[in-house]
Amino acid sequence: MNTDQYAGWFVVDMRLLVFVLFISAFTSLGIVALVLRGRRWYEYLVAFISLFVVVLIVVIMTFNQIADYPVLLIEEVFPFP
């Protein structure tokens, strides 16, 4: 029997997650619109996706750690038989 398997209950605050997704999307879109000019479409897409992921991680970490209002919360972790 493998004792290294765990399961858990995870809570996601959907209202805050939607807010964080919108903030990340609009921030990334604004930065791409201000910084990049006259590029090819795939350069816009790569820059948008990269900035979106970075801003999303920063905002989630900000809410989880600094503001103490978690977007993602681990309620309970228990061994899985």
CA distances from 32 to 9, 21, 29 (A): 37, 16, 5
pTM of the model: 0.80
State the Cα angle at 65 between 72 and 63, rounded to 5°. Answer: 60
Residue with the larger pLDDT of the pair 57 and 81: 57
Domain range enclosing 20? 6-79
3-class DSSP state for residue 57? helix
For residue range 20-73, list pLDDT tens digits in order.
Answer: 999 999 999 999 999 988 889 999 999 999 999 999 999 999 999 888 889 988
For residue range 6-33, list pLDDT tens digits in order.
Answer: 888 889 999 999 999 999 999 999 999 9
- Write out the two tokens for 41: 């479409």
| pLDDT (0 to 100) of residue 32 | 95
- Total domain count, the chain: 1
Residue 1 domain-assigned (yes or no): no
